[in-house]
């Protein structure tokens, strides 16, 4: 969506932008049953929240059920656009298959990579080295950086469980509250979990919006790093004063002997950085090659032209582009991790198989939920609801980045899961991003991540993980972590708005 006037908020309107007035304007010139389709969408989202929150239905099943109901409703509301009842099953299967082709591969490989870091002690090695180099006085900064780095390949809840003993040890040694170290750690993890692939949320959003993963990584770091710094130890130390917690007792005395068995910091840092560097390099090569491509080509013509240009590049560039494909880059790093953190450290082949298999269990749940998000997106397109949304908001004066943030924030507050909020918001934004440049699309992805990160409260599983491992009550967690997560959301969104004034 391209708006005139101010670069952030578009052309000023002479009347308040309330939903009823927007719908009335759209209905006056509608070529599709806008009001009925928007009402159907509203019903679908509300029913999705009821299924998840009231009936505790698994998010995967809830998304599929709502997609089916919305599809059925659309066949009566918009029969000219929506597929008939006999085509609904095919739409769901096709949408699921299209979404999982890329996303499942990335998440599956990334899960095994993270499991190797976890099994070998790479996570602890990274944290221990950073704490030593920063010193105990600046240990909160070390924990912030640890969280920011380690949450790229390792899921937030897993990393928190692994690093909890280190947090407790720091609290005992310094005689300070565990929150002084724990809150910066989870703040750093929350930022990269939402903004930097290959975690599931940003990978799925990149796929749904058809934005190059390298751009999402680049802008995710560009937005996420200053956000983590601003919302890091300074804010966290102030929030820690609102809660007095007891440090758990020491459970073991063999930490020093265990540390001798940990892999080196340099090895872990290189393994994590390698796929990011390769993906960014591949993105740079591709964008330089297609920089002069005719912007007027349709999607099919552009795809054919891009393939021809890439295949005619010098062989060196083709190799860089090949290695920089997200699947190839992540696979290389994962295989190196298996060799260097597994085989070379004496892990048996049977144990390696078991580690990989266990890693794919939790990943499988995430993959299915992400695929169901793809189904929801496909249904919105197939039923004409995406077009109705665009017709409603295209003349509202609300910039596409602001709209993406609002959608993600509302879903996040309502149902808690950052991943589900990102999937839902990305599906709603599909019709608004046509014709946008890759950098602009990456900023939209970041806006969705920003909205899905904030306002963590009692319906968020991460809220309870942080409450449990940092020893806080529900009230204390609301006073500390909820405020920090909301600050992350606002700060990152502010940075995105500033960047959007320079990006076309």
Model pLDDT for residues 44-96, shown as the tens digit of each residue: 999 988 998 888 888 899 999 999 999 999 998 888 777 778 888 998 998 88
Distance, in Å, from the CA atom of 201 to the CA atom of 194, rounded to the nearest integer, reads: 6
Cβ-proximal residues to 254 (8 Å cutoff; 6+ apart), any chain: none
Contacts of 292 (CB under 8 A, 6+ apart): none
Q: Residue 410 has what pLDDT? A: 92
Q: Please, which residues have CB within 8 angstroms of residue 360's CB and are 6 or more apart in sequence?
A: 108, 111, 112
Measured in whole angstroms, the distance separating CA 191 from the mean position of its chain's CA atoms is 9
pTM of the predicted model as reported, rounded to 2 decimal places: 0.85
CA atoms of 120 and 250, how far apart (whole Å)? 22
What integer pLDDT is reported at residue 295 of this predicted model?
66
Contact between 184 and 484 under an 8 Å Cβ cutoff? The reply is no
What lies within 8 Å, CB to CB, of 184 at 6+ separation is 140, 141, 143, 144, 147, 232, 233, 236
Angle at 445 between CA 424 and CA 39, to 5 degrees: 30
> Given this model, what pLDDT does residue 363 score?
83
pLDDT for 27 equals: 47
**Which residues of the chain, if any, have pLDDT below 50?**
1-20, 23, 26-29, 251-257
pLDDT at 259: 52
By the 8 A CB rule, do 445 and 503 touch?
A: no
Predicted local confidence at residue 21, as pLDDT: 52
**Please, where are the H alpha helices in 196-298?**
200-209, 213-230, 233-240, 255-259, 265-289
């Amino acid at each position: 969506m391209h708006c005139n006037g101010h670069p952030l908020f578009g052309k000023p309107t002479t009347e308040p932008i309330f939903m009823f007035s927007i719908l009335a304007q759209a209905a006056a010139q509608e070529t599709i049953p806008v009001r009925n389709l928007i009402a159907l969408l509203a019903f679908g989202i509300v029913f999705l929240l009821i299924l998840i929150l009231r009936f505790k239905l698994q998010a995967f099943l809830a998304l599929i059920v709502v997609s089916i109901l919305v599809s059925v409703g659309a066949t009566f509301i918009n029969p000219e656009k929506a597929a008939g009842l006999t085509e609904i099953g095919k739409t769901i299967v096709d949408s699921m298959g299209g979404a999982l082709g890329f996303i499942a591969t990335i998440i599956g490989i990334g899960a095994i990579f993270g499991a190797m870091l976890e099994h070998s002690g790479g996570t602890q090695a990274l944290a221990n080295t950073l704490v030593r180099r920063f010193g105990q006085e600046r240990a909160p900064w070390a924990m912030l950086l640890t969280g920011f780095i380690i949450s790229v390949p390792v899921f937030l809840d897993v990393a928190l469980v692994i690093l909890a003993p280190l947090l407790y040890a720091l609290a005992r040694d310094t005689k300070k509250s565990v929150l002084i170290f724990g809150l910066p750690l989870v703040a750093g993890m929350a930022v990269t979990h939402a903004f930097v692939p290959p975690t599931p949320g940003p990978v799925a959003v990149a796929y749904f919006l058809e934005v190059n993963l390298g751009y999402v990584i680049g802008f995710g770091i560009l937005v996420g790093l200053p956000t983590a710094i601003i919302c890091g130890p300074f804010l966290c130390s102030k929030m820690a004063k609102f809660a007095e917690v007891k440090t758990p007792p020491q459970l073991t005395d063999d930490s020093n002997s265990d540390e001798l068995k940990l892999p080196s910091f340099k090895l872990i840092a290189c393994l994590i950085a390698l796929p990011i560097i390769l993906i960014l390099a591949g993105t740079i090569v591709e964008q330089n090659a297609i920089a002069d491509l005719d912007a007027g080509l349709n999607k099919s013509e552009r795809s054919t032209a891009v393939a021809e240009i890439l295949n005619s590049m010098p062989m060196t560039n083709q190799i860089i582009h090949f290695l920089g494909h997200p699947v190839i880059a992540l696979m290389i790093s994962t295989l190196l991790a298996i060799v260097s953190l597994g085989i070379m450290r004496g892990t048996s082949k049977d144990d390696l198989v078991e580690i990989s298999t266990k890693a794919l269990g939790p990943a499988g749940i995430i993959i299915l939920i992400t695929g169901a998000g793809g189904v929801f997106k496909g249904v919105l397109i197939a039923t004409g609801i995406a077009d109705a949304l665009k017709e409603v908001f295209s003349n509202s004066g609300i910039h596409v980045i602001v709209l993406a943030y609002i959608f993600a924030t509302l879903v996040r507050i309502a149902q808690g899961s950052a991943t589900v909020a990102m999937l839902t918001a990305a599906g709603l934004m599909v019709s608004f991003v046509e014709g946008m440049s890759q950098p602009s699309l990456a900023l939209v992805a970041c806006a969705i991540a920003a909205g899905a990160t904030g306002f963590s409260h009692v319906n968020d599983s991460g809220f309870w993980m942080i409450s449990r491992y940092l020893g806080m009550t529900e009230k204390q967690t609301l006073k500390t972590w909820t405020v920090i997560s909301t600050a992350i959301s606002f700060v990152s969104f502010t940075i995105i708005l500033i960047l959007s004034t320079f990006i076309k």
